[in-house]
Structure 1
Amino acid sequence: MQSNIGLILEEKAADIGNFIVGRLLPFRQKRAVGPFVFIDHMKPTCLKDYQNIDIPPHPHIGLSTLTYLLEGSIFHRDSMGIAIEIKAGEVNWMTAGKGVVHSERTPEYLRKADKFLHGFQIWIGLPKELEQCEPSFHHIDKEAIPVWEEDGIEYKLIAGEIDGKKSPVPVHSPLFFLEIKTNDQKKINIGSKLFGEVGMYVLDGTVKIEGNDYGTSQLLVAKNASLCEFETNGITTLYLFGGEPFTEERFIYWNFVNSDKNMIEQAKNNWKNQNLDAFPKIPGDDEEFVPLPELRTQSQ
């Protein structure tokens, strides 16, 4: 029988300061899964009382960012004037559109205490007609996210829509970001509920697919979402994500995503020159910023 697994990609480690993240997307072999163009797994990390998350103001265009924490807390500020703490189980959804600036830091009340951090940072491309929309921000409480159980299998729909259930995260294209947990060996056939492209990331435990076992630090990409079936081998947490891909390629340079390279070049110049019309300062966090790095575009 021909395998439904199109790619098996090993998570790449990236150092972003006081902790290591595992980069799941993009890879040279696979730039996107549906509209998902970038996924960082912030691995479980214990930060000491002298260690804090301090990601200074930096810009985005042409995408929505999704932050989902499993442990810990981050304080978000942006150029729209939003200032809010995100805690475990909650979602921050920021649509950059034509341009936004934000920072992410350890909340003040935790800066002198030991703390844990674990979660996901995700970028989702915008449909071409929305790439120049006005920026917006939404915070979704833990209790608002759909959670259900079927046959001893726990599901949580963090974003998107699947099988008649819908997350309150205001996504801009057909997609899904689904958490699945089992405590026992379970066979799961979910292909009929999925659409577009689908990726799987096993956070804890292992899964068996077509007679082979796959565990943590691997991203699996299915050839055909409708054939997605697998078996968990006990206590397992995994994520399925994907949706309808865009017809146009998405280019990435640093924090900028767009279907038009000219828009990325314009954003680079605006940020390098600190054009406040394009990228306003963040109220309450305007003393520093991340300079534009010299990078090759990831799409080349």
Structure 2
Amino acid sequence: MSNIHQIIEERAHLMGNFRVGRLLPFKDKRMVGPFAFLDHMGPVKLAQYENFDVPPHPHIGLSTLTYLFEGSIMHRDSLGNEIEIKPGAVNWMTAGRGITHSERTPDYLRTSEISLHGLQIWVALPKDLEQIEPSFFHIDARQIPEWKMGDVNVKLIAGELFNKKSGVPVHSPLYLLELKSATKQTIRLGQELFGENALYILEGSITSEGITYESKHILIPKDPKLCAFEMNENTTVYIFGGEPFPEERTIYWNFVSSDKSLIEDAKIRWNNQEFGKVPGETEFVPLPEPTNFKLKK
């Protein structure tokens, strides 16, 4: 009997002027541990007259994790942070009670042809931390734990695993692991994993119990402790998960909370432009019309 319980395929979604592949949330799987949202951006080439532009928009109740493979994004937020995200680095922004940020092609690249490819992830906050003050943390690529597992290159982007700890200041027990191999390799991780987890195939393919699964899919196991598979040549996968929360989370637009009243309050505050402003920016993304955006449970 197969240990694969669920397969989720990327679905095209428009984010500003940029198309992404959405993986989470999915209608039959809203979260994996504390992970509430996963977008695969690109890979795409932007011409000299094109740019990646997501104007100021709000978040509550979550931390965002941005991780690039190619390209560059300028992050600006209402705390006054302004930093360029480059491949291999991690931007970790904790919204708490509310933060505003924008994501754009850096000024010095806006008239150049560029490539953009990466992941954008939301991690829900524990109930008792949903209203903490917002914060921001950046970690360079060289600060991420990296080691070899046979011929497989492994990175611990966030969380704790294998007696190693990423410098990203997470708020609950979780892990985000990158495995990359140029050759066929057998992987057995089950006894190291905890909580709920999932495997995302970025490129290449894996084989599990005689079945081959291609890129741009998430695989959800029935039993995380039975996580064993074969990475085929030139394959990159991400294994992510952690301890699930006892309470359900509601996701509405960019807001995540265990308390729907906090989402209603955030909607009012954003409509009234009571969130913090991003210095130097006057644009903002309006709250979606109720007829065009459904409350997700």
Q: Does 1:177 align with 2:176?
A: yes
SS of the counterpart of 1:133?
A: coil
Q: 2:279 aligns with which of 283, 287, 292?
A: 283
Match in the other structure for 1:136 = 135
Match in the other structure for 2:271 = 272
Q: CA RMSD in A?
A: 0.8
1:225 positional shift: 1.1
Amino acid at match of 1:129: D
Amino acid at match of 2:273: Q
Assess if the C-alpha contact under 8 Å between 1:176 and 1:242 holds in 2.
yes
Greater Cα shift, 2-11 or 200-209:
2-11
In 1: Cα distance, 2:188 partner to 2:251 partner: 34
In 2: Cα distance, 1:236 partner to 1:10 partner: 17
1:227 positional shift: 0.6
In 2: Cα distance, 1:12 partner to 1:154 partner: 28
SS of the counterpart of 2:269?
A: helix
| TM-score, normalised with respect to structure 1 | 0.97
In 2: Cα distance, 1:203 partner to 1:40 partner: 11
1:260 positional shift: 0.2
In 2: Cα distance, 1:274 partner to 1:203 partner: 38
Assess if the C-alpha contact under 8 Å between 2:271 and 2:287 holds in 1.
yes
SS of the counterpart of 1:88?
A: coil
Alignment of 1:231-242 (within 5 A): 231-242=230-241
Match in the other structure for 2:79 = 80
1:12 positional shift: 0.7
Deviations 1:116-154 (A, max 9, x none): 100001000000000000000000001000110021111
In 1: Cα distance, 2:108 partner to 2:169 partner: 30
In 2: Cα distance, 1:210 partner to 1:197 partner: 20
Assess if the C-alpha contact under 8 Å between 2:203 and 2:216 holds in 1.
no
Deviations 1:163-187 (A, max 9, x none): 1011100000011111001111111
Assess if the C-alpha contact under 8 Å between 1:182 and 1:237 holds in 2.
yes
Deviations 1:42-99 (A, max 9, x none): 0201001110111110000000000000000000110101011110110000000000
Amino acid at match of 1:296: K
Match in the other structure for 2:37 = 38
Match in the other structure for 1:121 = 120
Assess if the C-alpha contact under 8 Å between 1:19 and 1:45 holds in 2.
no
Unaligned runs of 5+ in 1: none
In 2: Cα distance, 1:120 partner to 1:233 partner: 22
In 1: Cα distance, 2:14 partner to 2:284 partner: 19
In 2: Cα distance, 1:150 partner to 1:217 partner: 24
1:19 positional shift: 3.1
Deviations 1:192-223 (A, max 9, x none): 11111111111111100111000112111111
Alignment of 1:39-58 (within 5 A): 39-58=38-57
SS of the counterpart of 2:261?
A: helix
In 2: Cα distance, 1:7 partner to 1:149 partner: 29
In 2: Cα distance, 1:139 partner to 1:237 partner: 24
Q: 1:296 aligns with which of 290, 294, 297?
A: 294
In 1: Cα distance, 2:223 partner to 2:156 partner: 21
Assess if the C-alpha contact under 8 Å between 2:64 and 2:121 holds in 1.
yes
Amino acid at match of 2:40: H
Amino acid at match of 2:295: T
Assess if the C-alpha contact under 8 Å between 1:18 and 1:47 holds in 2.
no
Unaligned runs of 5+ in 2: none
Q: Does 1:89 align with 2:88?
A: yes
| TM-score, normalised with respect to structure 2 | 0.97
Match in the other structure for 1:3 = 2
In 2: Cα distance, 1:24 partner to 1:241 partner: 13
In 2: Cα distance, 1:38 partner to 1:151 partner: 31
In 2: Cα distance, 1:100 partner to 1:79 partner: 6
Amino acid at match of 1:32: M
Match in the other structure for 2:101 = 102
Amino acid at match of 1:130: L
